[in-house]
Structure formats: C-alpha cells, structure tokens
Structure 1
Amino acid sequence: MISTLQPDKMGSYAPEDVMFLLRDISNVFLEMDNEKREQLIQKGTHYSEMLPMEYQPSKTYMDLFYKTLDTYAERIAIAVGVVAEQIIQNRGLDNLILVSLARAGTPIGILIKRYIQMRYKVNVPHYSISILRGRGFDETAIRYMLAQHPQGCLQFIDGWTGKGAITKELLHSCQKFNTQHQVQLNANLAVLADPGHCAAIYGTREDFLIPSACLNSTVSGLVSRTVLNLQFMDEEDFHGAKYYKELEKIDVSNLYIESIVTCFENVQSEIIRQLQELPNSPITWEGMKSVQRIQQDFGIDNIHFIKPGVGETTRVLLRRIPWKILVNPQYIHDLEHILLLAREKNVLIEQYSDMSYACCGLIKEL
C-alpha cells in the first residue's frame, strides 16, 4: 500500500484547511464550450476527459450569491454542526480523517473540520479527492491517505445528493477497494442536504440552496472539476485538476468559509435541538422515485439527462445545455438564482410538484 507519489500543491485554501490529493494539469487545454462538450458527452465521451468553460457570473448574479450567503449562512452553519456531531457519534475523534469529494464536497469538508476545531479543540486531517461517475474514486489518493494514517478512519463528505449516483459510486468503489486490499473503508456518505434520501448522514433532507452550488471554482479554492484523461495522464497517478490562478481577483472561496464559521457559536443550541429531533429515517431512495416519475411524464430515454435538486439544477444551467427547468411551486421563494440563470439563458421554466426536490434540470437531447 506504500506509495511514493506526492500530490501537487494547489488551490486557494490555506493548507491547514485542506490538502488536495490531485495532479495539477493547468498546462493542458481541455476547456470546451457547453454545446461542443454536450455533443461529445451524448456521443459517449466520459465527462471527466474534458472541462467546461468556467462560468463568469454577471454582477447581478454575484449580488445574488452574496445575498443568498447572507440569508443562508446560519442555516448552513446549523447543518454543518448537525453533520459534524453525527460523524463524531459514529466514528469518534481519535483516528478521524475527513475526505471530501472534489469539488462540491471541499468547502463542506473545510466547514466540518473548522466546526470540530471550534467545538472540540481537535485538529482533524482533511483531504479532498476525486470521484467520477462510472469510474469510481481515485485509488491512488486512498492509498496515499492510508499510508499517512494507517489507523485512519475515513469519513467521505459531499455537498448534497441528487439522484444518488455518487452515493452508489462510492459504495461500489469502497467494496472493490476493500476486497482488493483487505481494508474496511466505510462508504457512509455525509452531506449537508439529502433531498435524494440516499445518504447515511445528513444535515437536512430539505432541498435548499447551499450557496457554494451557485458558483464553480471561485467558491471551491479555484480548483476545476477533476479530470481523468489517459491520453496524457498516467493511470497509476492521482486524478488531475486545474488551478485557475487567473481568477484570484474574483475568488470568494475563503470569504464563503469565514462567513459561515462566524455563525457557529450563535447556532450551538439550535444544532443540539435539531440533533435531538433528527428523525431516525432510513435511506429510501425517495429522490430516485421522483426521477423515475419525471422520466415517464416527460418521455426521457436517458436518466442521466435528469438532474434533480437545487445543486444539480444549478450545474445544468452553468455547464450543460438545458432543455427545461422544472420548479416545485412550494419552494419558489428559494429559487431566485435558478430563475435568474434560466432567464439569462432563455431556458423554459415549467411548474411541477410531484417530486421530493425544489427543482430539477432537464438536459436537452442533441
């Protein structure tokens, strides 16, 4: 299990907040416009072999990001605390290693680490690794962590759940790795919001906006989506990512973290209250049932064209070619940024309430 490979230093976060276990591939040009990329994905190219153009938000959109951060900071701080306390109940603190799934999981992992530091005065290691749908997690990164922490108890962290594709991918990856290496990785995923009803540890099952879903690299340490393209990468190496240093002027990654960390002290009693009232509700894959209904109602052949939940719908609008956006009328007040993006891109908005999500993005079949 000993690996001599070292990851590259990257990202705009402080090294004490997170260590990215990635290979810096900033020198390779992989960006494509959404139309071209969508055509390749629909023809069978894996999404991890190329990158979307980084969305440059308008002033209106950035103003909305700041406004939602202001509105939701306490709600996120509570969800972070609720998740962190459950992790400690389940895993203890002695050998705990936080492993966030790049990139949506990275800011969440940092917040959980900071919460544990504030509440328990313990500095737990935190890494960010790549996981790709259909390709699993980065085994080189896993081997690296286990070599650094032989007794380590790995807790995987992500931002939110959609259909549950990453939940399944993680389960499959852990089972495969455990069999090959005689170890006991625990595939229980921790997320802030679990509208898909498929995560073992969650802060809430409500589909609410986690403001870090609004932006791309500029709220994730200036790190791109992760890449695995064997045309120029070595299979035994870490998965790759770009470090967008040129976006430093508009980087809000650390501002995002600090805005939420400052709320931790004030929401302590609410965290305890919510923990006590947390329903012992099982994983039901409720979200997947909603997706199957949508697939039937809208005659969609490929289930991958359905991206449910606020986080995933935002990504569809930022990175894919949307066909239409379904909006659950009871959550309309929480969807200002979705409506703004849809209007900016002239995407049809349709009301649809028969789902466990606030909204859902449907990708256009090209």
Structure 2
Amino acid sequence: MISTLQPDKMGSYAPEDVIFLLRDIGSAFLEMDNEKREQLIQSGIHYSEMLPVEQQPSDTYMNLFYKALDAYAERIAIAVGVVAEQIIENRGLENLILVSLARAGTPIGILIKRYIAIRYHVNVPHYSISILRGRGFDETAIRYILTQHPLGSLQFIDGWTGKGAITNELIQSCQKFNLQYQAQLSANLAVLADPGHCAAIYGTREDFLIPSACLNSTVSGLVSRTVLNLQFMDANDFHGAKYYKELEAVDVSKLYIERIVTCFEQVQSKIVLQIQEQEFSPITWEGMKSVQTIQRDFGIDNIHFIKPGVGETTRVLLRRIPWKILINPHYMDELKHILLLAQEKNVLVEEYSYMSYACCGLIKEL
C-alpha cells in the first residue's frame, strides 16, 4: 500500500491551507466549448476526459458574487462551525486528517481547518483529492495520505449534496479500498448544505447558496476540474488537473476564505446554539425521491440530466447545455444569480415546488 509517488505543486492557496494530491496536466489541450462537450458526454465519453472552457466572469456576475458573499458569509461561517464541531465529536483531533473532494470541497475543507486552528489551536492536515462519478476516488491519493499518516482518521468533505451521486461514489470507493488494503476508511461525508438528505455530517439541510458554487476555478485555487484520461495519463498515477495561471488577476480564492474566517468569532454563540437546537436526522435520501418525481413529471429518461440544488443548478448554467431551470417559489428571493445566469443564456425558468431543493437544472438532450 505504501505510495512513493509525489504530487505536483498546485493551486493558488497557501500550502499551509491545503495540499492538492494531483498531477499537473497543464500541457494537455482538453478544453472544449459547452455544446461540443455536452455532445461527447451524451454520446458516452466520460466527463472527466475533457474540460470546460474557463471564462472570466462578467462584471455583473462578479458583483453578484460579492453581494452573495456579503449576504451569506455569516451563514457559511455558522455551517462551517457546526460541521467542524460534529467532526471533532465523531473523530477527536488526535489523528484527524481532512480530505476534501476537489473542487467544490476544497474551500470548505480550508474553512474547517481554519476554524479548528482558531478554536482549538490544533493544525489539522488537509488534502484535496479527486473523485469522479462512475470512477471513484483517486486511490493513489488515498495511499499517499495513509503513507504520510499511518494512523490517520480520514474525514471526507464536500461543499453540498445534489442527488447523492458523489455520496454513493464515496461509499463504493471506501468499501473497495477497505477490502483491497484491509483499511478502515469511513465514507461518512461532511458537507455544509445537505438538501439531498444523504450526508452523515451537515451544517444544514436547507438548500442555500454557497457563494463558491457561483464560480469555477477562480474560487477554488485556480485549479481546473479533475481529469482522468488514460490516453495520456497513467492509471496508477494521481488524477490530473490544470492550474489556470492566466486567471490570477481575477482569483478570489483567498479573499473568499478570509471573508468567512473573519466571521468565526462573532458567530460562535450561534454555532453552539444551532448544535443544541438542530435535530440531526438520519440519512433518508429524500433528495433522490424529489429527483424521481421530477423525472416522472418532465418525462426525462436519463436521471443524470437532472441536477438538483443551488450548487448543481449553477454548474448546469455555467458549463452544461440547460433545457430549463426549475425554481421552488419558496426560495425565489435567494436565487438572483440563477435568474441572472438563466437570463444571460436565454434559458427557460419554470416554477416547481414538489422538491426538497430551492432549484433544479435540467440538461438538454441533444
């Protein structure tokens, strides 16, 4: 099980905040426009074999991001604290290793690490690894972590849940890895928002906007989506990613972290209160039931074309070809960035309230 491979230095975050366990594939040309990518994905090519084009966001959209960050910074700080306290209660601090799922999990993992450092004066190791739907997590990265920390208790972290595909992927990956290496990885995922009702540790089950979902690499350390393309990559190496140096001038990755960290002190009493009041209910996969209802109501054959939740709907608008966006009228006031993106891309918006989510993106069948 011992891993001697070394990852490449990646990302615009300080190494004290996170170590990406990735191979730099900067020389490969994998970017394609959304239309071309969508056609290839729908023809059966795995999404991790190519990359979307990373655009510099418009000024209007960036203003919206800053507004969202101001509006939600406290709410995120509270969710981070609630999650961190649950992690500590479950695992203690002694051998705790934070393992965030690249990309969306990375800023969340950093925030949890910072919270623990401020509150408990303990510097917990934090790595970011790749996990891909249908292909599992990067085993090379997990072996690397366990080589560095033989007694490590790994806590997997993501930003939010959609319908639970990544949760499922993590469960299967952990089972497979544990069997193969007689390891004891726990697939208990920790997320800030769990509208899918499929994570063991969560800050809230409300489907709210985590502003880092609004952007791509410019809020995730300028790192691309992770790639596994065996045409030019070794199956036994780390999964790959690119570093977008050309976007350094518009990188808000560190700003995002610092803005939320400044809230930790003032929300401490609210974190304690929420932990006392929150009824931590079991996993019910409630979100999946909503998705099945949507599938039936809109006659959608492929469940992968349904992307529920604020985070996933944002992604559909940013890097897929949307058919329509469903908005739960109850959350209308919180979805300004969704409505703006839909308007910019001329996508139909429809009110629909039969779901546990604030909104849902439906992908166009090409």
Per the normalisation by structure 1, the TM-score is: 1.00
CA contact (8 A) 1:17 1:110 kept: yes
Could you say which residue in structure 2 is the equivalent of 1:181?
181
Could you say which residue in structure 1 is the equivalent of 2:239?
239
Could you say which residue in structure 2 is the equivalent of 1:338?
338
Regions of 4+ moved over 2 Å: none
Structure 2 counterpart SS, 1:292: helix
Q: Give deviations 1:84-115, integer Å, cap 9, x for gaps.
A: 00000000000000000000000000000000
Could you say which residue in structure 1 is the equivalent of 2:213?
213
Superposition CA RMSD, Å: 0.4
- Following TM superposition, by how much is the alpha carbon of 1:71 offset from its aligned partner in structure 2, in angstroms? 0.5
- Following TM superposition, by how much is the alpha carbon of 1:4 offset from its aligned partner in structure 2, in angstroms? 1.1
Gaps in structure 2 of 5+ consecutive residues: none
C-alpha separation in 1, matches of 2:247 and 2:280:
43
Structure 2 counterpart SS, 1:203: strand
C-alpha separation in 1, matches of 2:326 and 2:280:
30
C-alpha separation in 2, matches of 1:280 and 1:88:
16
Could you say which residue in structure 2 is the equivalent of 1:127?
127
C-alpha separation in 2, matches of 1:329 and 1:2:
52
Q: Give deviations 1:270-329, integer Å, cap 9, x for gaps.
A: 000000112131100000000000000000000000000000000000000000000000
1:304 aligns with 2:304: yes
Could you say which residue in structure 2 is the equivalent of 1:27?
27
- Following TM superposition, by how much is the alpha carbon of 1:174 offset from its aligned partner in structure 2, in angstroms? 0.1
- Following TM superposition, by how much is the alpha carbon of 1:341 offset from its aligned partner in structure 2, in angstroms? 0.2
CA contact (8 A) 1:55 1:318 kept: no
Could you say which residue in structure 2 is the equivalent of 1:194?
194
CA contact (8 A) 2:56 2:247 kept: no
C-alpha separation in 1, matches of 2:269 and 2:225:
36
Q: What is the total number of aligned residue pairs between the two structures? A: 366
C-alpha separation in 1, matches of 2:4 and 2:293:
49
C-alpha separation in 2, matches of 1:85 and 1:280:
13
Q: Which amino acid aligns with 1:187?
A: A
Could you say which residue in structure 2 is the equivalent of 1:12?
12
Q: Which amino acid aligns with 2:132?
A: L
Could you say which residue in structure 1 is the equivalent of 2:274?
274
Gaps in structure 1 of 5+ consecutive residues: none
1:153 aligns with 2:153: yes
- Following TM superposition, by how much is the alpha carbon of 1:56 offset from its aligned partner in structure 2, in angstroms? 2.1
Q: Which amino acid aligns with 1:246?
A: E
Matches within 5 A, 1:245-256: 245-256=245-256
Q: Give deviations 1:11-65, integer Å, cap 9, x for gaps.
A: 0000000000000001111000000000000000000000001132111000000
CA contact (8 A) 2:310 2:358 kept: yes
- Following TM superposition, by how much is the alpha carbon of 1:2 offset from its aligned partner in structure 2, in angstroms? 1.3
Could you say which residue in structure 2 is the equivalent of 1:67?
67
C-alpha separation in 1, matches of 2:58 and 2:348:
20
C-alpha separation in 2, matches of 1:276 and 1:347:
42
Structure 2 counterpart SS, 1:221: coil
Structure 2 counterpart SS, 1:159: coil
C-alpha separation in 1, matches of 2:245 and 2:238:
20
C-alpha separation in 2, matches of 1:235 and 1:290:
36
- Following TM superposition, by how much is the alpha carbon of 1:149 offset from its aligned partner in structure 2, in angstroms? 0.1
C-alpha separation in 2, matches of 1:32 and 1:289:
33
What percentage of residue pairs aligned between the two structures are identical? 85
1:359 aligns with 2:359: yes
CA contact (8 A) 2:18 2:128 kept: yes
C-alpha separation in 2, matches of 1:338 and 1:55:
17
Could you say which residue in structure 2 is the equivalent of 1:110?
110
C-alpha separation in 2, matches of 1:140 and 1:363:
33
Could you say which residue in structure 1 is the equivalent of 2:48?
48
